[in-house]
Structure formats: structure tokens, C-alpha cells
Amino acid sequence: MSSKTPQRLHLVFGGELVDPARTEFKDVSKIHVVGIFPSYAEAHAAWKAEAQRTVDNAHTRYFIAHLHRLRDEESAVSSTEELGH
């Protein structure tokens, strides 16, 4: 019997926020979807590249969403893993 590791997908996205202290997007239609990545390491590299590219705009933020957790409703999400933390 083979044990298969569950697929872990991560979405990297971002855009301009209404206020840098909040996670509300100014215009949802302009959210930049960077992509979906099969590992956290790849997602983090993509997030870092976008964050560095937009470092001069304090209102622009990028996030990593753990898509695999959305599929697993049994798993609780810690407060540090919620968007904006």
C-alpha cells in the first residue's frame, strides 16, 4: 500500500489596499493573481518577488492563501495563518 502526500496548493495574490493597516482591497477587480504554487517555498518566493517589486507603495500588499486548507474543513486555521497576519 502506497502512502500519498496530500497536495498542498498556495495562491499568491495582492493589490492596493484602502488602508495599509487593514486587508481591504481598494478595487477587487484589480487584484493581481500571481499564481497557484504546489509548495509553500515556491509561493513564498513568488510573494517575496512581488512584495519587493512594490516596496515603494505602502498601500500595495501581497498575500499567500493556503488553498489546501480551504479543501480540508476539519483543520482549524491559526490566527497567524489568516490573511493579513
pLDDT digit string, tens, across residues 26-62:
999 999 999 999 999 999 999 999 999 999 999 999 9
Confidence of residue 74 (pLDDT cuts 50, 70, 90): low
- Which among 3-12, 44-53, 70-79 has the top mean pLDDT? 44-53
Cβ-based burial of 47 (10 A; exposed 0-12, middle 13-18, buried ≥19): buried
Q: Is the pTM of this model over 0.85?
A: no
Complete domains list, the chain, with CATH: 12-76 (3.30.70.2400)
Q: How far apart are CA 46 and CA 53, in angstroms?
A: 11
Q: How far apart are CA 40 and CA 65, in angstroms?
A: 10
Q: The cell 499568491 sits on which residue? A: 12
